[in-house]
Amino acid sequence: MSAPHDTLVRNIFDRIAWRYDLLNRIISFRLDSLWRRKAIGALGIADRPALVLDMGTGTGALALDACKVLAPGARVVGLDFSRAMLNRARERTARAGHQDRAAFVLAHALAAPVRNGIFDAVMSAFVLRNVGNLESFFRESYRVLKPGGRIVCLDMFPPPQGTFSRLYWLYFGKLMPRIGSLVSGDPAAYRYLSDSVRAFVSPGTVADTITSAGFVETRTVRYMRGAVCLHLAAKPR
Ligand SMILES: C[S@@+](CC[C@H](N)C(=O)[O-])C[C@H]1O[C@@H](n2cnc3c(N)ncnc32)[C@H](O)[C@@H]1O
Residue 132 is predicted with a pLDDT of 85
- What is the residue extent of each domain of the chain? 3-158+201-234
Closest atom of ligand 1 to 85 CA is 27
pLDDT tens, residue by residue, 71-87: 999 999 999 999 999 99
- Kindly give the distance from the C-alpha atom of residue 178 to the centroid of ligand 1, in angstroms, as a whole number: 22
Q: Whose CA is nearest to atom 13 of ligand 1?
A: 56
CA of 130 to the centre of ligand 1 (A): 7
Q: Which of 6, 9, 138 to mutate to test the pocket of ligand 1 (most atoms within 8 A of CB)?
A: 9
Ligand 1 atom with the shortest distance to the CA of 82: 25
Confidence at residue 225, expressed as pLDDT on a 0 to 100 scale: 95
**Tens of pLDDT, residues 114-130:** 999 999 999 999 999 99
Q: Which residues line ligand 1 (CB under 6 A)?
A: 6, 9-10, 13, 56-58, 61-62, 80-82, 85, 108-110, 125-127, 130-131
Please state, as a whole number, how many other Cβ atoms lie within 10 Å of the Cβ of residue 75: 18
pLDDT digits (tens, 9 = 90+) for 129-187: 999 899 999 999 999 999 999 999 999 999 999 999 999 999 989 999 999 899 889 99
- At 4, is the pLDDT very low, low, confident or very high (cuts 50, 70, 90)? confident
pLDDT score of 184 = 87
Q: How high is the pLDDT of residue 2?
A: 74
User: 57: CA distance to ligand 1 center in Å?
Assistant: 6
Kindly report the protein residue whose alpha carbon is nearest to atom 17 of ligand 1.
Answer: 131
CA pseudo-torsion sign 53, 54, 58, 60? negative
pLDDT of residue 123: 98
Residue 102 has pLDDT above 70, yes or no: yes
% of the chain exceeding 90 in pLDDT: 90
**From ligand 1's centre to the CA of 24, what distance in Å?**
13
CATH of 3-158+201-234, one of 3.40.50.10440, 3.40.50.150, 3.50.50.60, 3.90.1150.10: 3.40.50.150
Q: How far is the CA of 100 from the centre of ligand 1 (A)?
A: 22
Residue 142 pLDDT = 98
Is residue 1 over pLDDT 60? no
Cβ atoms 94, 100 nearer than 8 A: no
Atom of ligand 1 nearest to the CA of 54: 6
Average pLDDT estimate for 58-79: 96
Determine which of 42-46, 52-56, 138-142 has the lowest per-residue pLDDT on average: 42-46
Question: What is the rounded average pLDDT for all residues in the chain?
Answer: 95
d(CA 43, CA 64): 15
Q: Which residues contact 229 (CB under 8 A, 6 or more apart)?
A: 154, 155, 157, 203, 206, 220, 221, 222, 223
How far is it, in rounded angstroms, from Cα 112 to Cα 165? 36
pLDDT of residue 27: 87
What DSSP string describes the chain? --HHHHHHHHHHHHHHHHHHHHHHHHHTTTHHHHHHHHHHHHH--TTS--EEEEET-TTTHHHHHHHHHSPTT-EEEEEES-HHHHHHHHHHHHHTT-TTTEEEEE--GGG-SS-TT-EEEEEEES-HHHHS-HHHHHHHHHHHEEEEEEEEEEEE-PPPSSHHHHHHHIIIIIIHHHHHHHHHS-HHHHHHHHHHHHT---HHHHHHHHHHTT-EEEEEEEEGGGTEEEEEEE---
Distance 19 CA to ligand 1 centre (A): 15
